[in-house]
Amino acid sequence: MNDILIKILKIIGIIVISPLVGGFLSGIDRKLSARFQGRKGPSILQPFYDVKKLLKKEQIQVNSAYRFFVYLSLIFIIFTVVLIIMGGDILLAIFVLTIGSLMFVLGGYASASPYSNIGAERELLQMMAYEPCVLFVAIVLYYHSGSFFIKDIIADNKPAILYFPAVLIAFIYILTFKLRKSPFDLSMSHHGHQEIVKGVTTEFSGKDLAVIEITHWYETIMALSFIYIFVAYAAPISHLYAVLACLAAFILEIIIDNACARLKWQSALSSAWGVTFFLGAGNLIVISFLNR
């Protein structure tokens, strides 16, 4: 009974703390981006103020369908984060993540806006670009530890990064898609003057837009967790190294975001698949050859 209660408390803690950390990282993102552009930038807590303001705004509803899909997307992403942090099955987490992303796409299609529909189509293209690499990550982690359970992977005597550094590099490359950074921010624009206006979120407002932002905070934690899994292993000090690796990858993504212009979807898709094949498959082939 005590074990069940402890697990419930852990799950509640993950659900509450994850968006707080994600929102704080979003604030750091905005602050560093402003510094790179020669501006002072907003407060690190500005994302929380923005969400609070959105929750108080008047709700303009085009139809009821798109709201249903957005809330479903949030639920699936929360389940993914809980599954990963609790040390669950990484393959199941990836499948649930995919369902959550599809719910978000359906929310975009449910709107009558052509900009929203274009954004939804580009969201699908982004999924096509990064999903092969994410599945490849699950494969190599299983190859490394003999288990799909994250608690077993990080309990190994050696970190996965020692054997699959190229796969980690490939994942950091496609991480730009999931964090919605340039040059791969294809489906959603943060600036209304760009060619798809606000993309998949064009028709969302108020509480719905706040839910999308909170979902992105969860997605940030989920995405960085994969890097954590690559670095952490049985040694307790490795968990500190894993956190530092996550922060380094996050800052790298911010630098890339401010240094690159948006690519066409054809270039984004082909480059993601190319990196996945040459780095991911190449790394796996080399390790398989060395272990013969």
3-state secondary structure labels for all residues of 112-149? CCHHHHHHHHHHHHHHHHHHHHHHHHHHHHHHHHCCCE
Give the per-residue pLDDT at 37. 83
Nearest CA-CA partner of 179 in 243, 95, 97, 254:
254
Res 198 pLDDT > 70: no
Give the per-residue pLDDT at 114. 76
Give the per-residue pLDDT at 193. 47
Confidence of residue 22 (pLDDT cuts 50, 70, 90): very high
Residue with the bigger pLDDT between 184 and 8: it is 8
DSSP, res 42? -
- Reported as a single tens digit per residue, the pLDDT across 81-98 is 999 999 889 999 999 999
CA 28 to chain centre: 16
Confidence of residue 38 (pLDDT cuts 50, 70, 90): confident
- Reported as a single tens digit per residue, the pLDDT across 3-21 is 788 888 899 999 999 999 9
CA angle 233, 236, 239 (to 5 degrees): 65
For residue 183, cis peptide bond before it (omega within 30 degrees of 0): yes
Average pLDDT of the chain to the nearest whole number: 86
Confidence of residue 63 (pLDDT cuts 50, 70, 90): low
Res 195 pLDDT > 90: no
Give the per-residue pLDDT at 291. 73
| Cα atoms in the 13 Å half-sphere on the side-chain side of 289 | 6
Give the per-residue pLDDT at 192. 47
Check if the beta carbon of residue 168 is closer than 8 Å to that of residue 230.
yes
Residue with the bigger pLDDT between 287 and 150: it is 150
Residue with the bigger pLDDT between 269 and 150: it is 150
- How many domains does one find in the chain? 1
d(CA 39, CA 32): 9
In the chain, what percentage of residues exceed pLDDT 90? Answer: 35
- The values of phi and psi at residue 89, to 5°, are -70, 120
d(CA 46, CA 24): 9
Element (H, E) at 225: helix 206-231
Q: Is 89 helix (H, G, I), strand (E, B) or coil?
A: strand
| Cα atoms in the 13 Å half-sphere on the side-chain side of 103 | 19
**Residue whose token pair is 């954590």:** 228
Tokens encoding 281: 């498959």
**Residue whose token pair is 């490359």:** 173
Tell me how crowded residue 119 is: count the other CB atoms within 10 A of its CB: 27
**Residue whose token pair is 């987490």:** 93
- Reported as a single tens digit per residue, the pLDDT across 122-162 is 888 888 888 889 988 998 999 888 889 999 999 999 899 99
Res 115 pLDDT > 90: no
DSSP, res 59? P
Dihedral angle sign, alpha carbons of residues 138, 173, 43, 215? negative
Q: Which residue range is the domain that position 202 belongs to?
A: 2-290
